[in-house]
Amino acid sequence: METEIDFYELLEVDRTADDKTIKSSYRRLAMKFHPDRNPGDAESEARFKAVSRAYDCLKDPQKRAAYDRYGHAAFAQAGHGNAQAGFSDIGDIFETIFGQGFGGGRGAGGARPRRGADLRYDMEVTLEDAFHGRDADITIEVSRNCDPCDGTGAQPGTGKRRCTMCEGYGKVRAQQGFFMVERACPTCDGRGEIVESPCQHCRGEGRVDKPQTLDVKVPPGVDTGTRIRLAGKGEAGPNGSPPGDLYIFIHIAPHAVFERQGTTLLTRVPITFTQAALGGSVRLPGLDDEGIAITIPAGVQSGEQLRKRGEGMPVLQGRGRGDLVVELTVETPRKLSSRQKELLREFQETETGAECPDARGFFERIRDTLGAKAK
């Protein structure tokens, strides 16, 4: 059988060497035995790999502690040699050194309580509710601790016994080739205990479905996708284990006037062509129950946007508000009286082209292009 060289000897350091000394020695040896410096030298290449493996172990405090205690056996692959005489995996080694639960292995305390499942509830709120915030009551059907057995799953007056299959750990292990596979104990369903006389009300589960009404505080500024967590309001854990959490996912209902983008409110306001030409003002309803006055500058074009600072949505869990953006669309009149048509014709006769420079420039470019082609 091949003898493993001690990692400290490979790195030419004492067992009490600090991290800096180990790192320095590794760099020196790696440079000395690097294959690029020793082309075709199989011995140097093997030494380089051995030094690298030693450093990979000793540079990690947890691996080094395991190596100091168990030597090379700490990292021997499960399935080689007498597996039952030693450790099944590295988790067992770390667990022995650092205490229960390291790496998910077994601990001295047996099976861990299984926490109840987290639950999701989708709540639709209006844009006004998202602006002001609100308190809402919701009723959901969720499993809670069984009252007759107080969540233990055992008939009142009876108890539980330790599972002999897993010895109270809640998990069993089986060898599969080179690997050790761990799974929940099929006898106790991972609980580590057996209920002798199951509770008739919950059939030994320790929980039953019950409707519960909860108060949800919706803060100002929430948006679609905002998540509100209610700790301990999820599904009860089996046999008295801790409950999960309830997550409220917010969805903002469509609004008749405003569209939302983050803290910015957008709205499209149609105006007459006389308002666009002469200017004016419009008043919009605000989410804060107060009107918002919008001043329309003379000569505004369709599609132009006006911004009102601080008239948007409040910042979630912060200060201030976003902006309101108003996009103006100029509406061309569809029905005109005879007098209105007459007035427009009079206006048309007085046009010089300077009133609408974009239109004038466009047709001038067309005329110039056609004239150049004619020549």
* Distance in angstroms (rounded) separating the CA atoms of residues 292 and 267: 12
The answer to whether residue 302 is domain-embedded is yes
The pLDDT of residue 105 is 44
Residues 316, 270 share a domain: yes
What does the chain come to in residues? 375
The answer to whether residue 190 is domain-embedded is no
Q: What is the CATH number of the domain that holds 35?
A: 1.10.287.110
Residues 248, 132 share a domain: yes
Work out the percent of the chain whose per-residue pLDDT is above 90: 37
The answer to whether residue 191 is domain-embedded is no
Residues 81, 53 share a domain: yes
Residues 76, 21 share a domain: yes
pLDDT over threshold 90, residue 362: no
pLDDT over threshold 80, residue 39: yes
What integer is the mean pLDDT of 89-94? 46
Of the candidates 263, 261, 281, 262, the one whose C-alpha atom is nearest the C-alpha of residue 328 is: 281
Residue 273: φ, ψ to 5°: -70, -20
Q: Residue ranges for the binding site for Zn(2+)?
A: 146, 149, 163, 166, 185, 188, 199, 202
pLDDT over threshold 80, residue 295: yes
What integer is the mean pLDDT of 156-178? 79
10 exposure class (CB count in 10 Å sphere: 0-12, 13-18, 19+): buried
Compare 182 and 83 and report the one with higher pLDDT. Answer: 182
Compare 265 and 201 and report the one with higher pLDDT. Answer: 265
Residues 244, 285 share a domain: no
Residues 137, 233 share a domain: yes
| Structure token pair of residue 277 | 């030409």
| Structure token pair of residue 12 | 């030419």
29-33, 68-72, 122-126, 146-150: range with highest mean pLDDT: 122-126
Of 104, 139, 171, the residue that ends a domain is 104
The answer to whether residue 98 is domain-embedded is yes
Q: Which amino acid is at 227?
A: R
What integer is the mean pLDDT of 283-309? 91
Residue 222, SS3?
A: coil
Instruction: Pick the range with the lowest mean pLDDT from 184-188, 275-279, 321-325.
Output: 184-188
Residues 202, 248 share a domain: yes
**Residue-averaged pLDDT of the chain:** 82
Of 226, 252, 278, the residue that ends a domain is 252
- The residues pairing with 149 across neighbouring beta strands, listed in sequence order, are none
Q: Are 70 and 64 in contact (CB under 8 A)?
A: no
The answer to whether residue 188 is domain-embedded is no
Q: What is the CATH number of the domain that holds 241?
A: 2.60.260.20
pLDDT band, very low/low/confident/very high, at 265 (cuts 50, 70, 90)? very high
The pLDDT of residue 373 is 62
Q: DSSP state, 4?
A: P
Strands 246-252 and 119-125: what pairing? parallel
* Distance in angstroms (rounded) separating the CA atoms of residues 172 and 184: 6
Residues 221, 99 share a domain: no
pLDDT over threshold 50, residue 101: no
The answer to whether residue 177 is domain-embedded is no
Residues 144, 37 share a domain: no
Residues 368, 316 share a domain: no
Q: How many helices (H) and strands (E) does the chain have?
A: 9, 15
The pLDDT of residue 314 is 94
* The total number of structural domains that make up the chain: 4
Of 212, 237, 252, the residue that ends a domain is 252
The answer to whether residue 149 is domain-embedded is yes
Show the domain range for 130: 119-159+196-252
pLDDT band, very low/low/confident/very high, at 286 (cuts 50, 70, 90)? confident
Residues 126, 33 share a domain: no
Residues 277, 213 share a domain: no
